[in-house]
């Protein structure tokens, strides 16, 4: 059950607005990025949120992976995005692929501020 969980909070995204508001193009990009990173997409779910007084609605795009998942949440009114990439490393080390996937998404959104975290999951406690 050991795995690697990568997260990133993006602010000041300079990408085209469609990447923050259009569910289908974002989901298709995510699936292509998953394959380019050498991971296996097994399903995808996307949801568009309605516009509010603050601006256009955002998108949640989730790609289920044979290795675990990718999830993207957008807030176009803030030009912000959160990214979540988790890979299980039980049958092999997919860490480099997870980093490649995250890098592709960071490039797409082109944020002025990025806060990244990395968590090793499923490591048994020592003692």
Q: Domain limits of the chain? A: 3-121
Question: Among 30, 69, 88, 94, which one carries the catalytic annotation?
Answer: 88
Is 99 considered catalytic here? no
**pLDDT of 1 strictly over 70:** no
Contact 56, 21 (CB under 8 A): yes
Question: Among 13, 68, 69, 94, which one carries the catalytic annotation?
Answer: 68
The per-residue pLDDT for range 13-23, each reduced to its tens digit, is 999 999 999 99
Domain 3-121, CATH 3.30.930.10 — does that match? Answer: no
List Cα–Cα distances, 77 to 4, 6, 49, 61, 72, in angstroms.
Answer: 31, 24, 12, 17, 16
Is 73 considered catalytic here? yes
Segment 16-39 shows an average pLDDT of 98
Question: Among 15, 73, 95, 99, which one carries the catalytic annotation?
Answer: 73
């Amino acid at each position: 059950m050991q795995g690697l969980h990568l997260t990133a909070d993006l602010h000041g995204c300079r990408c085209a607005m469609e990447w923050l508001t259009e569910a289908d193009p974002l989901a298709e990009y995510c699936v292509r990025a998953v394959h380019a990173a050498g991971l296996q997409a097994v399903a995808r779910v996307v949801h568009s949120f309605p516009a509010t007084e603050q601006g256009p609605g955002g998108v949640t795009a989730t790609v289920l992976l044979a290795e675990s998942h990718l999830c993207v949440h957008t807030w176009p009114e803030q030009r912000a995005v959160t990214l979540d990439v988790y890979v299980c490393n039980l049958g092999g080390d997919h860490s480099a692929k997870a980093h490649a996937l995250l890098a592709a998404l960071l490039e797409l959104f082109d944020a002025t501020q990025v806060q990244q975290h990395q968590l090793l999951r499923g490591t048994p406690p020592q003692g």
